[in-house]
Structure 1
Amino acid sequence: MATFKAATIQMRSGRSIERNVEDAEALIRGAAAAGAGYIVTPEMTNIIERDRAALAAALAPEETDFALQRFRELARELGIHLHIGSLAIRNGDAIANRAFLIGPNGAVIGRYDKIHMFDVDLAGGESWRESATYRPGDTAVVADLPWVRLGLSICYDLRFPQLYRTLAKAGATVLAVPAAFTRQTGEAHWHVLLRARAIETGSFVVAAAQGGRHEDGRTTYGHSLVVDPWGKVIAEAGDEPGFLVTEIDPAAADEARRKIPALANERAFHLPEMPQVGSFAI
């Protein structure tokens, strides 16, 4: 089974779609020149904008989206598998947080809409309601690369291990987690969650992140990571935009799953109903 080079692109997307695409393109070209055949960008590659009206005004449907068209041209020019971690895309009267996997011929070979919406209230008054802006997806997605089967996810999905188990049981040995983790949650949980998903499934986890202070005022954690199927971090970025190129050996996933066959050993179980208050089990 052939090894291949995977790259994570770390960005600090702002409010200008054109500038974000230019920044991403420069980093993608650098990663391709370093030999990467599969390149993944972070969540919200095309725009980070908290103001809902401004966000909606900037977006287009998939068929006419400037960023997607440019990235398709770029994948074809460079002959790479380009995974745009997500774009904000107009979807009828709503907005989708949608990932695109683009083949070397420029065709879109996989789409995934983020399933889990980040609706949380954090310490210090930080509050997010993604469901007020985005329409969630309801379908898990795997796609075949020349070297491996890839499982797609986006950011907050990371906290829902059943998704990754489903992807792994569908044959995925590389799990992509493009993200824009907040600094607060990233400092607390980013590394441990990514390592856990790798260990639980015996998979490589490739996580491209947003990092730094953005134009709309939010701060993201950065630290793009690649984790091997044994849970070891084999590549890590810092806070600044850039890219990591990492050699991936698909045989390592097979080896990890032979050593710890957790996917094969899983058994169905049930939880009995609890007795009513005031009643007793005899």
Structure 2
Amino acid sequence: MIRFSVVQMTSTNDVSENFNIIKTLLTNQKMDVLVLPEMCLSIGAKYKSPVQMEFDQVLIELSQLAIENNALLIAGTVKQPQTNSDKGQPNCYVFDQLGQIVTCYQKIHLFDAVVNDTQGAYRESDQYDPGSLPCVFDFMFNNKVIKMGLAVCYDLRFSLLFHELKKQGAQLIVVPAAFVYKTGDAHWEVLLRARAIEFGVYILACNQTGWHDETRHTFGHSMLINPWGEVVNTLGEEVGLLNCDIEENDIIHSKELLPSFNHVVKFD
């Protein structure tokens, strides 16, 4: 049995404070896989405030978090500076139980959209450069290999990415997010369930929640969905920890439930 723990939080622009919130939520908890939301360490209108922690130190702190919890850590996204660009990279780092970096996924689809909410418009491309490579990695548990895929927030709307993750063998796809309230209320659950059904995989979604500043409001409702499209476990809009237990064999053999992916027809 694999225990997945998902941190649902209301991040601010204070990196140290966000680390403290995460650690408080994890007090006296035990898990095998720990998931943080997108922009877990900095979010909000004051995002461009002076740097509170050097990026190298951020990686050290995340590595230590994995070690302290003896868990695989999927660290949402952090903004990684670039030497040749004013923009950062929206990177999702994965650390093993020893604090070593296993892989890093750079978010492919950036959220540039006009939304009828209190903020009105979002332009992630003003802050970030997109990635281009899907990410599937191996997680070893009880001498069995679990194939995990990664997608971040706005990626959820692009089924071709999930098709590629499935093609590369993903059996469970983790989706860290900061899905805004307006679109989340309308589309969050239905998109997550659709992806699980389309590709016969478990979907574990970790979202931000609440008001991060005067204009940015996220939806919460982190959840686990099985390959049949059923919501197995979920939070509401509260800050908290979602614990989900899954038998490793259920993940490995999920493709046998309804192998529709094997029947895909390619069109020119």
TM-score by length of 2: 0.91
Q: Quote the residue 2:31 is aligned against.
A: 36
CA-CA distance at 1:164 after TM superposition: 1.0
RMSD: 1.8
- Structure 2 counterpart of 1:87, from 75, 78, 81: 78
Question: CA 1:255–1:145 in 2, change beyond 3 Å: closer, same or farther?
Answer: closer
The answer to whether residue 126 in structure 2 is matched with residue 135 in structure 1 is no
What residue is the counterpart of 2:260 in the other structure?
A: 262
Runs (4+) of structure 1 moved beyond 4 Å?
Answer: 59-62, 253-256
Paired with 1:84 and 1:78, the residues of 2 have a C-alpha distance of 13
1:169-214 CA-to-partner distances (Å, cap 9, x unmatched) read 2111110101001100000000000001111111111111100011
Residue aligned with 2:179, SS: coil
Within the candidate set 192, 197, 202, 2:200 is matched to 202
Shift, 1:253, TM fit: 4.3
Aligned partner of 1:233 among 231, 234, 237: 231
Summarize the Cα distance change of 1:114–1:21 in structure 2 as closer, same or farther, 3 Å threshold.
Answer: same
| TM-score, with length taken from structure 1 | 0.87
Greater fraction of residues in helix: 1
Once the two structures are overlaid, the 10-residue window that deviates more, 119-128 or 150-159, is 119-128
Distance in 2, matches of 1:247 and 1:262, equals 26
**1:173 and 1:244, CA in 2 relative to 1: closer, same or farther beyond 3 A?**
same
Partner of 2:266: helix, strand, or coil? Answer: coil
The code of the aligned residue for 2:21 comes to D
The C-alpha deviation readout for 1:110-136, integer Å capped at 9, x for no partner, is 101110010111225711111111111
Aligned ranges 1:60-99 → 2 under 5 Å: 62=55, 64=56, 66-92=57-83, 93=85, 94-99=87-92
Aligned mates of 2:68, 2:91 — CA distance in 1: 23
Change (3 A) 1:232 1:74: same
**Structure showing the higher strand proportion among its residues:** 2
Aligned counterparts of 1:4 and 1:53: Cα–Cα separation in 2: 38
DSSP 3-state at the match of 1:257: helix
The percent of aligned pairs where both chains have the same amino acid is: 32
Q: Which residue of 1 aligns with 2:150?
A: 152
- Any stretches of 5+ residues in structure 1 without a counterpart? 271-282
Q: Deviations over 1:87-125 (max 9, x none)?
A: 122122321111011001110101011100101112257
Deviation, structure 1 residue 259 = 3.4
SS at match of 1:208: strand
Larger Rg: 1
The alignment of Structure 1 onto Structure 2 pairs a total of residues equal to 261
Unaligned runs of 5+ in 2: none
